[in-house]
Structure 1
Amino acid sequence: MTLESLRLQNFKRYAEYEITFESGLCGILGRNGRGKSTIFDGVFFALYGEYKGSKELIPTAGSTGGVKVELNFEIEGKSYTAIREFRGKALTAYATLKEADVSIITGAREVSTAVTKLLGMGKEAFLHTVFASQKELTALSSMKNDERKAMMRRLLGLEKIDKIEEMIREELRELNRELKSASGFLLGDDVLKAHREDHKSKTETALTLETRIKQLNEEAATLKSAYEAAKVLVETHQRAKEERQKKLDSLDKLQQALALEQKQLTALDEELKTLQAQQSRYTSQLPQKARFDALEKSLSEQESLKAAFLKKEGLEKEQEELRKSYTARKEEVAQLIKETAPLETLKTQLIQEQTQFKALKSAFDTLTEQITRTTAEIASNRTNIAGVQEKVSRITELGAESACPVCTRPLLENYDAVLSSLHREIIDVYQRQIDEAQIRLNTLNEQKTQQQKALTEAETRQSTTDKQIALLLSKTHDLAKAQEKFREIETRGLANKTALAQLVNINYDEKVHIALRGERDTLKPQVDALLSLEALIATIPAKTEAAQKLGAQIQTDTQSIAAQQKLISEDTYSEKAHADAAVHVKTAESAKDAKAVEHNAALLEQTNLRRDIEAIDKEIKRDETNRASLKSRENDRDDYEKLKAVMAEFKTHINARVAPHIGEVASEMYSRITRGRYQHIEVSPEFDFYIYDNGERYPIERFSGGEIDLANLVLRIAISKTLGELSGGDNIGFLAFDEVFGSQDEERRIQIMEAFHTISESYRQIFLISHETEIKEMFEKVVEL
């Protein structure tokens, strides 16, 4: 199986996406969250109706319509299309499987079943064989022993053995119930004795009857042999009669053929005489054919001259128009060059005006900030005055007993001094600062008004210059177009001039052309008749040869007729002997049939006896069967008990069988990736991993992170190949790995890519998903997301 294309609609993050899969080593690259892994979620979903991951399948946010995934793939030269959809608000599942463009299966479950049959593996085997992620690779070496065993058993499908063991336990419970129930269906001893006595009596009668039937068989055989012999004699006479008739028929056919051949020969002789007479007339008219051929050649030359002459006239007219256009375009270009001359000066002027505007704008912004600060200063001083005035109001209201605003003791004799101090603070400090700030604010506002006017004038000048430049730029484009048109006209004019130079000597006379055509048309009927006569004359040699062959065939057929007549005269068939043999066979058949009736009556009696004996046998055998079944169930129960114990041993056995194969495949790749630095990877029956370094075996945990990542990669590839072989999925032609580069440096990445190139002999397509876009040069093909 290889992938051809995938189309996603409202699937996870993709509102609409389509990808074509090519052969070879392909990198699917992009930053995290760009939907790289979603592509293969879509492949798995199209095939089996599920996808990797635990989140629910939700249509893309903000999208309309249902979910649709369409996968095109090829198996053994045949193209298939798997389509999965979720339609409507309830997201009802629909599925279709097509071969070429013809739908062969519909229904979600039915398509999954058909895909499983096509690929030779179910969804879990497919998932574990084809896909691998960085998380899954790391888990191989980082898991504890029991966890690793569980993961390997899951990958290998050995968890199914657990289900088998549960089935065994359930079967044992059912067998025990059946054993208890079956004991009540056995026959008693008295019934068995009566059945056996009746069986003995009827068996003796049947033996006597069998002797009689044997005698009847012998008599019937004798009569049948006599009948068969008589029948053979009749058939011999019949064959002799048929042979004689064949000879007569053959003679008749030969005589008819001879008469036809003689008639054909006469007709051919007459036809040849007529053709030979016409041949002399054909020879006398050959000069007319030669003149017609010469006229045809001359007319062809005239047609060529006419075409060249018409082309010359057309070029001369076009050249005149081009001269006019040349002059007009030349003047237009000159005028536009003159009009666009000030452009560079205006661009320089615009830069100066923009610089002046920025300076004015900066000064204006500075003034605005100063005005804002001054206004804030005035407001702050007014707030301070209000605070002092509030203190004065409180002191005045309470009189000399009021508390000092500083030390909180009663003012008493300091009452007037404090009030005077507070009034001076308002007038000499805050009001003075407000007046000074107001003067500055008035000055700043006047400056801002002047600056605003200057800024507006600068902006107007800049806008005017900008418009002039835009107008000149537009004319620059017009100039380029005019120059291009001018060059085109100039090029066409030169080409026409060259073509006219080649046609300068062309002379065409229409009257000569018409005269030649008239002469040709006059001769044509005569030449056509001559050509028809030529075709007839050409048949003379063939007809002469046919006449000779007919003469020889007539001689052969005459000899064959004489020979056939001699064979008929020598024939020994006798009509009377044939009739006598037919009478004898009927007499023998009647005797045979009478004996068969007597024999059949004896057989009927024997059949009835056997039916009775068989009925007794069935009762006895049913009881024996019930007893044997009871014993068989007891044996089954013992076997299931043994099988229960064997299943545990089978788990260990299958692990020991698969592990070495995984190790062999992984070792070959690991040695190549590390360029012989490490010779061997060992996978124990308990799925512990070891690496051989200089002939010494070490646990995988001993090595660095990069080396472990490499080991995990080759182990996962080896597991994929092994699982593919075990699951029967030999027709799977692609692999997909998600983020396999891990912590590898550039050299190891190159080695990993070499490893994938190595296994590309076994897989037509290998897809590597990575967020590291700088490695894209390492791939044969790249899809960037």
Structure 2
Amino acid sequence: MRLRYMELRNYRKFREARIEFPDGVVAIVGNNGTGKTTILEAVTWALFGNASSVVRDNKEGVVSFGASPGDECSVVLEFDLGEDSYRLARNMKVKSLKTDASLEVNGKLLATGDTEVTNAIVDRLGMDHQAFFVSVFTKQKDLNALANLRPAERKALVLRMLRVDSLDRVIKAIDADANNAKKEAEGVSVSLRDANGNDKIGSLKEEERAAADSLKRIVDGSSKLLADKKAAAEKSRMTRGLWEAEEERYRQDVALERRQTGARAGLQAMHESLGKLEKEVGELQALRGSLPDLEAKEKEYQNARSAAERHAALREAFLKRQRLEEELAAKKAELESLRAEAEQAAKEMSGLPDIEASLATVEATLNETRELMSSISAQAGVAEAEAGRLRAEIARSKQKADEIIKLGEDSNCPTCQRRMGEQFTDLLRRYQEEQKAFEEGAVLQDEVRKGLMEQRSRSEQRRDALEARRSKLLSQSRLKASLEERLRRSQQSLSRTQERADALQKDLDSLGPVEYDSKAHDAAKRRAAELEPSHLALNRAMTKMERLPLALEEKDKMAIAVASEEEALRTASQERRALGFDMKALLTLKKEHEEARQNEERLAQEIIRAEGEQRRLASEIDSLRKRAADLEMLRSRQAYLKTELETLSRLSQVMKGFKENVISRIVPTLSDVSSDLLSQLTEGRYGGMRLDDNYQMWLYDQGEEFRLERFSGGEVDLANLCLRLAISRMIMERSGNQMNFLVLDEIFGSQDQSRKRSILETLGQLQKQFRQILLITHIDDVKDNVSAVLRVQEKEDGSSTAVLED
């Protein structure tokens, strides 16, 4: 893998950056915190997205501080892998944190989508983000871990970096599968035996044979039940026909009995109605003889009532004229009062002056006075502020003069830093003149303010007088308006009252004089009351006499109906005697039918029970067969699990042996590669290095072997760097891809200048294995020993920029 170009936008400290990656050893130089490591983190983010080991904290931390919600955080990465050219773009919305990506190979789109692109990268590189980090990135903390750990811990770290520990997970998974298979086989074995240890399949087959025998017996008995039920059904049908025929005769007998009962009841009611009609006709014929006396009294009653009604009309006219005269007198008195009130209001209004003109003049003068007061207040405020400013200038001038006096004539000027000398006296004199001028100006402003305040006081007195005058005029204006309203209402009331008085007089004139005699009126009412009972008796008699013709007609019709009903009763009695129904015969036939029906139903229930038992036994047999089949499957599963357990046990032994074989080959390989690198970096001073079986490091010094702890910190860091580079090379070779790409992050540690130069020269030699080596460091003097320098600097706004230096 070889990086060619990367473009950043709103990624951590880089608001916008475009970076080209040359071949060779490229030093990424800058102060701590400027974003050197961020450049390589952007490479891994573009490749693998928001994996937990890629982003430091969370997705929000990837976005530049200050990016607006509508922006995007994006990284575009161009690189070569093998013979192919890749262009990878990954972006994330600032607001929603939704990530998208696209991958092009040789100009053709290969994949789109966040997860899809990551999977394609993993497939092409042959490693995931964890393997990529371990194989490509080497940090100082990794070297420190290799140096500070005990041999057993160092062994675990190296195996984890080489991902050999994944074999432990595989072995553990195989052992877990074997254990699960063993437990399941034991469970299946228990399921195949009952509580007494007997074989469940044999017991089920025995139960199936017993159920089949019971089913055969029930099927044979069902044939006889069907024949018995058929005979019982025929008998039930025959008895039912006889019973239903007798039921029909019973219904006819009941109907005839009802006709007899109805005829008797109707005949009795008709005889009662006929008697009442005969009595009513006799009473009406007697009443017809008393009508002449009642008719004579009716004429006298009508005359007395007419006289009472005439006197009542005269009384109403008399009372109406009396009310009109009283109301007319009241209206005339009201007219006199209203005329007096109107004259009084007009008189009071005539004594008031011209208020509107005076009020307008006072209002205008009052507004002018208020505006003048506002202007005076503003001018006084300006004068007061100016006096304060001048006195502040006096204080500042005095402070400067005091500083000059305190410094003395031989000191330097605090402004120009030159010796004051003769300027000392001139400065003091200028400050005194300046203070005097400021003081005179302040006194003048105080006098101006004092004059303005006196003028304001006079204006306030004038304002108060005008407001009092205005208040008085407003009171007079309200009084005038009130008087005008009183006069208007009085005139309106006077007009309405006069109209009502004229109308009353007109009504009296049209009514004319009325003569009413109350005694004659009372006598007429008494006579009409005395004759009213005779009047009512006549009305009742006339009403009853209207009933006489109808009563005679109803009496004749009722006599005919009685004769007809007596004939109907005789006919119904004859028909019932001819029918000759016997209740005992009906009950006997009904009992015979019920017995036949119950026998039929009993046989039907027995057949249903037999059919249900057949279905139950058939279902039981089916269930027993299914349970036996399930147990047969369990028996097959048991055999399979035994075979699976044997296979997994053998596989576990094979994987454990494979792990030991891999580990046994790791130590010699790492020792050879690390030893070659150490010899190159030390220019042959050390003959190489070796890892023992406990991953303890040994160095060859002048032909002798010594433990790593014997040497200084620089040699220790150098040895650990060689071991770390050897681990990276092994991971790359195992992935099947030639990465040609290595990142070293702050690896110099405690190395002296000579050793740093030696490391850089060796890194140059490593270009045979690694076409690009990116060296992250804050040490600026490495630039003379590298192929190119990528300088990272922080701008004033807190963002960073990366510039490739020639």
Q: TM-score, normalised by structure 2?
A: 0.43
State the TM-score, normalizing by the size of structure 1: 0.44
Higher Cα Rg, which structure? 2
